[in-house]
Structure 1
């Protein structure tokens, strides 16, 4: 079935098969958090974006990608508690590494009582088997909020100048309809500036956005509203 980006708590994962990567989107917990399992199709390496809640459901999701429940890493997009509710259990069961934005890592480690081994900065790469994800810092929702970008390899049948599509996992920094919540003031300006420079000025309209809650979107759908967001301040 075609990927729709729609998932609901207790329901099945929505699955997107790319040439080199499989993306599984599931919704968990009372806050309807999205968790994304990324699987390198050649090596079987797996990475979970946000062990948000419902460890049993997330373990099922991991086994959907690997019957042996292989999990190499959990990347937490930011420090808020609704994104780390199952982190302790998932790390204990799978032995995966914990990674997070450098400025949120200590708070995540203390809240979940785990060791955040990988403290990543803007521009770093996170390996996933043969593949790599780029870290994009989006400061404002929290000081260490990050997004992860996966760029598909260029289609050999396409003109050389045409890159593969980008898939962007934004946590709570970008949703359909606007940026994530901030305390206003400097935090809002910081988030909007990072979104403008590091996302909208850099990535094309067909970039697919996978947010921390709710349905997906594309940069092309959101780009016309940037000035509206700045004017309304949310």
Structure 2
């Protein structure tokens, strides 16, 4: 039986979740921001994809342990790509990011974005296919990756768009919040079932069914 909980601490060990087709490894980096990085490994081929080279390149490269097929940067905020240039230099892996955030990521890191992701795209890691959901509001080009496990429930890597207890920050911008809550409600909650497990850019994981009853409350409070 799996012991995965998603509770990781900076400086502590990674947590590993073994699905039939995919291994998910979660590591927390940087004491101040406590970002999560996720290494996704196709169990059939061994191909690996990293979600957010957030910080501590040495720890990430140790986690990767070899070849890397790609790095998906969920959005343009600095705390999610501090190790990107170093991981790219060490692995040669191409960078994928949401189209509206791609130029900012390159400007901030110097790492070129090889593939600009759009809503409805797919990203492959070995024999595993991940669907791309574009979510605006936290940043213009945030992306969520979804693995619809044929032997279980979906798994969504939400960056900073969705956390247990609410959507991501919009820094007092009412229009950005309206865009974010609309996109989260229609594109995540509107398309994925309650048993979907989601993996955010910081902190603990969540389950959509636990959050769905609170959508109206989040919209009313405005954050």
Same fold? TM cut 0.5: yes
The residue aligned with 1:160 is none
Aligned counterparts of 2:101 and 2:51: Cα–Cα separation in 1:
15
- Cα deviation for residue 106 of structure 1 reads 0.3
Superposition map of 1:1-234 within 5 A:
2-29=3-30, 30-63=32-65, 69-153=66-150, 155=151, 164-183=152-171, 184-234=173-223
Q: Name the SS of the counterpart of 2:176 in structure 1.
A: helix
Aligned counterparts of 1:25 and 1:208: Cα–Cα separation in 2:
13
Q: Name the SS of the counterpart of 1:205 in structure 2.
A: coil
Q: Name the SS of the counterpart of 1:44 in structure 2.
A: coil
**So what's the TM-score if we normalise by structure 2?**
0.97
- Cα deviation for residue 206 of structure 1 reads 0.3
Q: Name the SS of the counterpart of 2:217 in structure 1.
A: helix
Per-residue CA distance 1:114-135 (angstroms, 9 max, x = gap): 1100100000000111111101
Aligned counterparts of 2:191 and 2:72: Cα–Cα separation in 1:
23
- Cα deviation for residue 165 of structure 1 reads 0.8
**So what's the TM-score if we normalise by structure 1?**
0.93
- Cα deviation for residue 201 of structure 1 reads 1.2
Aligned counterparts of 1:99 and 1:136: Cα–Cα separation in 2:
13
Superposed CA RMSD = 0.8
Aligned counterparts of 2:111 and 2:37: Cα–Cα separation in 1:
19
**Where do 5+ consecutive residues of structure 1 fail to align?**
64-68, 156-163
Aligned counterparts of 2:149 and 2:122: Cα–Cα separation in 1:
15
Per-residue CA distance 1:13-37 (angstroms, 9 max, x = gap): 0000000000000000131000000
- Cα deviation for residue 173 of structure 1 reads 0.4
Aligned counterparts of 2:124 and 2:205: Cα–Cα separation in 1:
24
Q: Name the SS of the counterpart of 1:96 in structure 2.
A: coil
Aligned counterparts of 1:198 and 1:81: Cα–Cα separation in 2:
25
